[in-house]
Amino acid sequence: MKLHVTTSAVECFQKEWGFARGDVVRIFVRCCGMSEDGPYWLGIQHDRPMFIGLMAIENHITFYMEEQDVWFLEGHNLTIDCEGEEIKFFMPSA
């Protein structure tokens, strides 16, 4: 499993979300009710890591998932991208 954050996603995090050099972005599993994607999806928050399960550093911003959330990927990679002003998550097979 790998975590990849595109250049356009980093730019979106900086411009639209206010993240800056040295910030840490946690990607976490959250319950979002029933949808076509299932009851769980991913959320984003500014946080400090405790038990890193997966990590990528792009343009001096650290993106990570805690060990407790990595189960959600189940053999997939996670790519974080941006379309317009919206952050998108893609999970192609590893």
> Cβ neighbours of residue 74 under 8 Å, at least 6 residues apart?
none
- Cα–Cα distance, 20 to 31 (Å, whole number): 28
Q: Please name each of the domains of the chain with its CATH number.
A: 3-90 (2.60.300.12)
Give the tens place of pLDDT for each residue, 6-24.
999 999 999 999 999 999 9
- Of residues 37 and 46, the one with the higher pLDDT is 46
Considering the entire predicted model, what is its pTM? Answer: 0.88
| pLDDT on residue 93 | 82
Which tokens go with 64?
């990570």
pLDDT value for 78: 96
